[in-house]
Amino acid sequence: MPFPSTAKLIAIQTRYQLVSFWRIPVAVFFTLGLPLVMLVLLNALFGSSTTETAAGSWPTSHFYTTGLAAFTAVSATYTNLANMVPIRRDEGVLKRWRGTPLPTWMYVSGFILSAVVIAFIGVVLMLTLGVVAYGLEIDPAKMPAAFVTFVVGVSTFAALGMALASLVKSASSAAAAANATILPLAFVSNVFIQVDDAPRWIEILGSIFPLKPFVEAFQDCFAPFVEAPAFNWGSLAFIAAWGVLGLVVALRKFTWEPSGSAPRGRRARRAAVDA
Amino acid sequence: MLAIEVSDLRKNYGDVQAVAGVSFDVREGEVYALLGENGAGKSTIVEILEGHRTASSGRVEVLGVEPATAGRDFRNRIGIVLQSSGVESEFTVREVIELYGGCYRQHLDADEVAGLVGLDEKVDARIGSLSGGQRRRVDLALGIVGKPELLFLDEPTTGFDPSARRKSWDLIERLGSAGTTVMLTTHYLDEAERLADRVGVLSRGRLIAEGTPEDLINKVSGTVVSFMLPDSVEPDEAASTFGPVLGVDVRVSGRLVEATIDHPAAAVNRLTSWALEAGVELDSLSVGRASLEDVYLALTEDEGDEQQ
């Protein structure tokens, strides 16, 4: 009997991670619910104003819709993976899978593909709400750019999420590290506020990390003052470079076992042997 | 045919030797138990055999391949029940059995596996709602779902109530008699005595004895004399009081005094004479055949002496 085909196994794994996501209410709320709530609140508060950018101006409700759509894609990949992978590692689930004939890369693929699907659902939800409730206009000529930007963005943030999951050893600190990195960054990355007139250091901070380039590139695909096809190749290359960095860290540092199961450090080893 | 061949296996964590030169073989179809206290190196050895850890030195061959570098085919032929590893608690028993089973070349049906491990009634319950013992049976279910030729069981019944233990023993015995090779670790002597064809006794990373439970018990070549310490003798005087009377070293645990004796008739005669003279009763006096526990205690005592 041959093994089930790779495509089938990856499909099963992706489905299993999706089912698992939908069965964890807190994950669904923070990944998909909270950005929607933020969108409704921010638009109720500030949505009727106009956002000025260097290139032109557009309704603030459209700025929020597209910025938060991009942010949802990031939270579905980066935050979600940095949360869930260490939880599965702490539970010993990763170690169990490593003892099965499923190649480990297929397991990881299922995790990442499920995150991409969740990101896609989140972005579509956001944009639909934008069109229906806030009059966001979708220009079909710019959708290829939106799609490519989405793919580059979720790949990068999934790789960075896996990198963080590899660097941080326990599930509780991984969740904290994910939020502590992405939330402050969101404030300087055009998600909640257009940062054109911000102090120089804030602009620099935003431009070092991939969040702002991603959010801007995605917003450009919907902004009326940007001409089709709206591909922002420079930003995409910059974002992808971060993705490669994340991938290298994840590949080098990823661990399958809960921390503490293999004794680290001389004292822990002695304790383990004497126990 | 050998299912497992281990020669001069060593595993160091820094300058600490967790496994200090262990050699043994497990034949195909055999149930082999590694017996030892916590920290003796059992789990380290088993995890090296499973491919979860690499050996520092020595040779390890499992089902004809080197586990550390073996691939998917090797993992298709083994089943692993780790000491502590979780299962996705959001899923039902049936879902996880199907999910994990689905990555083997062949797998058993979920209802069949649930029946084998005694979870028939819980097959549609979420893992999160199960008790600790029931989750351990899920571990066992996931270990056997892929029809393994070789099953690793790392302390499979730790934390079980007596009836669940007996059920698991029945299952392991059935697997063993159906031809599955089983590599078991345990610190329960009765478990090793009941299940294993052969036992390797591990202490401080070394194999200090090996054989069938029968062989090991016969090796102690003795009869165990035990009784409760009379009130007139303090526990710390027990060894100096009864050692000379019985003519061998005695073991004292709590108020229980035990000694393993080659020629019990004379020794018991001296003991009862001593009791009559001293005018004390020897409660629970028993003279019996050694059990694996006695073998184990005798062996690990020798080890301790050598170390000092």
Judge whether A91 is closer than 8 Å to chain B, CB to CB. yes
Judge whether B50 is closer than 8 Å to chain A, CB to CB. yes
Give the percent of chain A with pLDDT over 90.
74
Listed range (A78-82, B43-47, B174-178) with the worst mean pLDDT: B174-178
DSSP letters spanning chain B? -EEEEEEEEEEEETTEEEEEEEEEEEETT-EEEEE--TTSSHHHHHHHHHTSS--SEEEEEETTB-TTT--HHHHHHEEEE-SS----TTSBHHHHHHHHHTTSSS---HHHHHHHTT-GGGTTSBGGGS-HHHHHHHHHHHHHTT--SEEEEESTTTT--HHHHHHHHHHHHHHHHTT-EEEEEES-HHHHHHH-SEEEEEETTEEEEEE-HHHHHHHT-SEEEEEEPPTTS-GGGHHHHHHHHHTS--EEETTEEEEEESSHHHHHHHHHHHHHHHT---TT-EEEE--HHHHHHHHHHHHHHHH-
**Cα separations in angstroms, B183 against A38, A95, B4, B72, B211:** 55, 19, 9, 20, 14
Higher-confidence residue: B251 or B148? B148
Same domain as B143, residue B56: yes
CB contact under 8 A, B100 and A103: no
Using the predicted structure, report yes or no on whether residue B12 has a pLDDT greater than 80: yes
Using the predicted structure, report yes or no on whether residue B287 has a pLDDT greater than 80: yes
Same domain as B194, residue B105: yes
Query: How crowded is residue A227: how many other Cβ atoms within 10 Å of its Cβ?
Result: 11
Tell me, yes or no, whether B57 lies in a domain.
Answer: yes
Same domain as B143, residue B262: no
Helix (H) or strand (E) holding A164, with range, is: helix A143-167
Of A9, A20, A101, the CB nearest to B88: A20
Give the percent of chain A with pLDDT over 70.
94
Residue the block writes with tokens 């055949």:
B289
- Tell me: the pLDDT tens digits for B49-88? 999 999 999 999 999 999 999 999 999 999 999 887 789 9
Judge whether B88 is closer than 8 Å to chain A, CB to CB. yes
Same domain as B167, residue B57: yes
Give the percent of chain B with pLDDT over 90.
46
**Cα separations in angstroms, B137 against A15, B95, B125, B280:** 25, 15, 13, 50
Query: Would you say A60 and A48 are in contact if contact means Cβ atoms under 8 Å apart?
Result: yes
Using the predicted structure, report yes or no on whether residue A275 has a pLDDT greater than 60: no
Please give the residue of chain B at the shortest CA–CA distance from A9. Answer: B103
Average pLDDT of span A153-157: 97
Judge whether A23 is closer than 8 Å to chain B, CB to CB. yes
Average pLDDT of span B223-227: 85
Using the predicted structure, report yes or no on whether residue A100 has a pLDDT greater than 90: yes
Same domain as B109, residue B21: yes
Using the predicted structure, report yes or no on whether residue B182 has a pLDDT greater than 90: yes
Using the predicted structure, report yes or no on whether residue B308 has a pLDDT greater than 70: no
Output the pLDDT for position B237.
86
Please give the residue of chain A at the shortest CA–CA distance from B96. Answer: A16
**Main-chain dihedrals φ then ψ at residue B237, nearest 5 degrees:** -100, -5
Query: Would you say B283 and B227 are in contact if contact means Cβ atoms under 8 Å apart?
Result: yes
Judge whether B144 is closer than 8 Å to chain A, CB to CB. no
- Tell me: the pLDDT tens digits for A206-262? 889 999 999 999 999 999 888 889 899 999 999 999 999 999 999 999 988 887 654
Question: Which pairs from B157-165 meet CB under 8 Å and 24+ separation?
Answer: B157/B186, B157/B188, B157/B191, B158/B83, B158/B187, B159/B132, B159/B133, B160/B133, B160/B136, B161/B133, B164/B118, B164/B133, B164/B136, B164/B137, B165/B191
Last residue of a domain, one of B210, B241, B276: B210
Tell me, yes or no, whether B59 lies in a domain.
Answer: yes
Output the pLDDT for position A198.
80
Average pLDDT, chain A: 90
Average pLDDT, chain B: 88
Same domain as B202, residue B232: no
Of B39, B51, B88, the CB nearest to A272: B39
Which DSSP symbol is given to A36? H
Q: CA B15 to CA B8: how far, in whole Å?
A: 18
Please give the residue of chain A at the shortest CA–CA distance from B42. Answer: A273
Q: CA A142 to CA A169: how far, in whole Å?
A: 41
Judge whether B129 is closer than 8 Å to chain A, CB to CB. no
Indicate which CATH number applies to the domain containing B8.
3.40.50.300
What is the domain extent for residue B240? 221-289
Last residue of a domain, one of B210, B229, B259: B210
**Main-chain dihedrals φ then ψ at residue A230, nearest 5 degrees:** 65, 20
Bond from prior residue into A229 cis (ω within 30 degrees of 0): yes
| Domains identified in chain B, total number | 2
Judge whether B76 is closer than 8 Å to chain A, CB to CB. yes
Tell me, yes or no, whether B120 lies in a domain.
Answer: yes
How many residues does this entry show for chain B?
Answer: 308
Average pLDDT of span B157-162: 80
Indicate which CATH number applies to the domain containing B252.
3.30.70.980
Same domain as B72, residue B40: yes
Judge whether A252 is closer than 8 Å to chain B, CB to CB. no
CB contact under 8 A, B82 and A96: yes
Judge whether A274 is closer than 8 Å to chain B, CB to CB. yes
CB contact under 8 A, A99 and B90: no
Same domain as B132, residue B250: no
Output the pLDDT for position B221.
64
Same domain as B188, residue B232: no
Please give the residue of chain A at the shortest CA–CA distance from B51. Answer: A99
Same domain as B185, residue B42: yes
**B17 interaction partners in chain A (CB closer than 8 Å):** 273
Tell me, yes or no, whether B299 lies in a domain.
Answer: no
Average pLDDT of span B141-153: 95
Average pLDDT of span B120-124: 94
- Tell me: the pLDDT tens digits for A54-99? 888 899 999 999 999 999 999 999 999 999 999 999 999 999 999 9
Output the pLDDT for position B189.
83
Output the pLDDT for position A260.
65
How many residues does this entry show for chain A?
Answer: 275
Output the pLDDT for position B302.
66
Output the pLDDT for position B220.
66
CB contact under 8 A, A95 and B52: yes
**Cα separations in angstroms, A235 against A61, A198, A230, B273:** 24, 20, 12, 96
